[in-house]
């Protein structure tokens, strides 16, 4: 069942966007940038002001965004930006390598699949993965995030995993083993998983950055019987790194376009 768009809401959002983009806008500005009748613009501005989203200047006839309008973007984090804008790059990478590509972010001591090309890959054997939570220490995306986040965050994550009982695997009981693995990841520039979680696959994961902070990881998943781990590195490591780098370069620009 489909519904018609609410015209009044569309127009109100259009006016609010103009006020935000111009930092301050007059009736004349809004009239020149839209096809909304002037009487309607007055009513929309009055409604937006009443609701606390804009305020009229006391010195001229221009309208400014009020604090409440900034709250519209408060829940839209860098992780949301990267999920929204990584998809074209993920599809391009998937078309080149044919293996499925996942975008994962850290949340509550787990990695959450935000976007995926599993449905587009001829070699995918896992479907419906978007929204799934994955164990941090057993996946290449989680290991990648842990290796490249800052020391303070890493300590907090490990403490949280220990307290929650999730850091119980024998391989990870020794901090020496964990430090060695994270050192390998930093040297390679990629998180990796040869075996373990989902035995039928292996994976590589590259960090995505925003202002010197890792905010997501881009992961490719390969059927373990299809090729050796060394062959995966040789064929796909650089392409994965370059794709993650392209997304990272876009992040500062994208973040500035929010309300």
pLDDT digits (tens, 9 = 90+) for 131-182: 888 999 999 999 999 999 999 999 999 888 888 776 655 545 555 588 899 9
> Does residue 259 have a pLDDT over 60?
no
Can you give the pLDDT at residue 177?
Answer: 84
Q: What's the pLDDT band for 44 if we cut at 50, 70, 90?
A: very high
Give the sheet arrangement for strand 101-107, strand by strand: 133-135, 110-116, 101-107, 213-223, 201-210, 191-193
CA angle 113, 115, 116 (to 5 degrees): 95
Give mean pLDDT, residues 111-127. 84
pLDDT of residue 255: 47
Provide the token pair at 43: 């009513």
> What is the residue-averaged pLDDT of the chain?
85
pLDDT exceeds 80 at position 28: yes
Q: What is the chain's Cα-based Rg?
A: 23
* pLDDT at residue 65 greater than cutoff 60: yes
The least confident of 72-81, 119-128, 163-172, 187-196 is 72-81
Give percent of the chain above pLDDT 90: 49
DSSP secondary structure letters along 143-170: HHHHHHS-HHHHHHHHHHHHHHT----H
Structural domains for the chain: 7-73 (1.10.10.10), 78-255 (3.30.450.40)
Query: Angle 235-236-237 (CA atoms, 0-180°, nearest 5)?
Result: 115
pLDDT of residue 257: 43
Structure token digits, residue 152: 């303070």
């Amino acid at each position: 069942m489909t519904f018609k768009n609410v015209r009044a809401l569309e127009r109100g959002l259009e006016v609010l966007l103009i006020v935000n983009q111009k930092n301050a806008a007059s009736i004349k500005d809004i009239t020149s940038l839209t096809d909304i009748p002037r009487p309607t613009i007055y009513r929309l501005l009055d409604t937006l002001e009443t609701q606390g989203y804009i305020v009229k200047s006391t010195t001229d006839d221009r309208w400014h965004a009020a604090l409440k309008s900034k709250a519209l973007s408060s829940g839209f984090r860098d992780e949301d930006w990267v999920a929204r804008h990584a998809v074209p790059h993920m599809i391009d990478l998937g078309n080149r390598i044919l293996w499925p590509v996942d975008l994962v972010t850290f949340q509550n001591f787990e990695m959450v699949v935000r976007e995926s090309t599993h449905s587009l890959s001829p070699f995918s054997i896992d479907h419906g993965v978007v929204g799934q939570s994955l164990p941090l220490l057993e996946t290449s995306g989680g290991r990648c995030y842990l290796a490249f986040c800052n020391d303070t965050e890493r300590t907090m994550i490990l403490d949280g995993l220990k307290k929650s009982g999730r850091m119980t695997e024998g391989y990870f009981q020794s901090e020496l083993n964990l430090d060695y693995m994270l050192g390998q990841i930093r040297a390679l520039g990629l998180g990796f998983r040869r075996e373990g979680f989902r035995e039928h696959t292996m994976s590589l994961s590259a960090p995505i950055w925003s202002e010197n902070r890792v905010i997501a990881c881009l992961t490719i998943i390969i059927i373990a019987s299809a090729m050796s781990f060394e062959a995966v590195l040789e064929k796909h490591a650089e392409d994965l790194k370059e794709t993650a780098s392209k997304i990272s370069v876009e992040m500062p620009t994208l973040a500035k376009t929010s309300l």
